[in-house]
Amino acid sequence: MTVTSTTVVAAGAVCWRLVDGKVRVLLIHRDHHGDVSLPKGKVDPGEATPQTAVREIHEETGYRVTLGAPLGTAEYLLPGGRDKVVYYWSAEVTDEAFAEAGSFTANHEVAAIEWVGLEKAKAMLTYARDADVLQRFADRVTTGTARTFPIVALRHAKTTSPSDWHGSDATRPLLPQGRRQARSVAPVIAAWSPTRIVSSTAARCLATLEPLSALTRVGVRQTDAISQDAFEQGTDDVAAVVKKRLKKKVAAVICSHGPVLPEVIRQISLGTKGGDRIDLRRASSLGTAEFTVLHVSVDDSTLVALETHGPAA
C-alpha cells in the first residue's frame, strides 16, 4: 500500500510476557467494535509511529512498554473506502511494568484485557490481519529471537556548512533546523528506552543528543573512536565500540557522522548472525538526524530486523 495524505496511519504492538516460562500475549476487548484485537491507535499530529505505539498501549492497557523489533504492517480498507495502515512491533511487558500497572480499569476504548497463550490468541482474534501479525511474532518465539536489544545508529542533525564556519570542523554547531530535528527524533528514539548513549566528540553530535539525554535521563559518553576526524585519518576504532555494544546487550545509541555510520552498521552486521544476508544500503545512507535501529537477538546475536526513521522537522 502507498501511504498518501488520506491514508489513516496507526501503530501498535504484540505485547508479551513470560508466565511460568510460557509466552502469553495481550488481547483487548472493545465493546464499541464488538471485537478482540491487538492494542493499537491512530497517530497524533506531529507524532512518529513508534511514539504512537508506546502511547496507545499505555492509554489502552495501562502498561508502559519499550518497543522491541518491528513486525511489519497490517493494511486494509475502512468503511467508506479509505486506506488504513497499522505499524506493529513486539513489546515485552516486564514484571516491573506489569506490577506498576496494577489491575486494569475499563476505559472508553477498551472494555477488558486478557493474557493468553499464542495458539489461543490466534483463535480469539477477530481479524485475520491481526492473526497474521501475531504469527510473525510466534515465528520469532519458535526461533528463539523474540527477545531483542536495539542499537540505534544516529546521524547528527543539520549543522552549519564548513564554508560558513571559521573554526575547526569538530566545533561546527547545529543550525536552528538541526536543533528542531534533534528535538523531533528524541521522543522517537526514546520508544526503545536506551540505557547507553555513545557519541562522537564533535559538537554537532553532542548537541544532537542533548534532547534525548534530557528525556531519557541517560548521560552521553564521548569518544574519538567514532569521530569523523579519526575516521578520515584512519585512527578510529569503530569495531571496538560496536563490539562492546554487542557484548553488553543493552539498548544503546551510537551518534556519529555520514561517512562513519556505514562502517558502524557494517560492523554490527559482521558481529551478528544473518547480518550478511540483509541489504544495508538504505540503513547506511542516512540524512541528517536520520537513524537506523538494528534489533539483535539477546539469546544468539541474530540480526532480527532493522528499521530507519527520521525527523519530522
Q: Kindly state whether residues 133 and 196 are assigned to the same domain.
A: no
Q: Which residues contact 5 (CB under 8 A, 6 or more apart)?
A: none
Residue 3 lies in a domain: no
Distance CA 208, CA 288 (A): 10
The whole-number pLDDT of residue 209 equals 98
| C-alpha to C-alpha distance for 39 and 58, rounded to whole angstroms | 9
Is 1 contained in some domain? no
pLDDT at 221: 98
User: Considering the domain boundaries, does residue 46 fall inside one?
Assistant: yes
Claim to verify: residue 161 and residue 284 sit in the same structural domain: yes
- Distance (Å, whole) CA 181 – CA 147: 30
The predicted pLDDT at position 1 comes to: 56
Q: Are residues 153 and 130 in the same domain?
A: no
276 and 298 belong to one structural domain: yes
258 and 184 fall within a common domain = yes
Same domain, 127 and 263: no
85: helix, strand or coil: strand
Residues 36 and 138 placed together within one structural domain of the fold? yes
Distance from C-alpha of 313 to C-alpha of 180, rounded to nearest angstrom: 6
Stretches where the chain sits below pLDDT 70 are: 1-4, 313
DSSP 114-150: EEEEHHHHHHH-S-HHHHHHHHHHHHHHHHT-SSEEE
Same domain, 175 and 92: no
> Residue 236: which CATH number?
3.40.50.1240
The CATH code of the domain that includes 106 is 3.90.79.10
Reported as type and span, the H/E element at residue 89 is: strand 83-92
- What confidence score (pLDDT) does residue 2 get? 63
C-alpha cell at 80: 467508506
**Could you say which of 95, 119, 143 is where a domain stops?**
143
Count of domains for the chain: 2
Could you tell me if 186 and 242 are in contact, meaning their C-beta atoms sit under 8 angstroms apart?
Answer: no
pLDDT at 128: 95
Q: What is the pLDDT of residues 19-60, one digit of tens each?
A: 999 999 999 999 887 899 999 999 999 999 999 999 999 999
Q: Grid coordinates standing for 16?
A: 508479551
Query: What is the residue type of 89?
Result: W
Dihedral sign, CA of 136, 46, 41, 81? negative
Q: HSE of 62 in the Cβ direction (CA atoms, 13 Å)?
A: 16
104 and 201 in a single domain? The answer is: no
Answer yes or no: do 162 and 108 share one domain.
no
Q: Is the same domain home to 194 and 300?
A: yes
Q: Which domain holds residue 102?
A: 8-143
Report if residue 2 sits inside a domain.
Answer: no
The answer on 138 and 191 residing in a single domain is no
Cell numbers for 163, please give them: 564554508
Instruction: Return d(Cα 233, Cα 236) in angstroms, integer.
Output: 8
β-pair type (252-256, 148-155): parallel
Average pLDDT, the chain: 95
Given the DSSP bridges, would you call strands 83-92 and 8-19 parallel, antiparallel or unpaired?
parallel
What pLDDT score was predicted for residue 133? 98
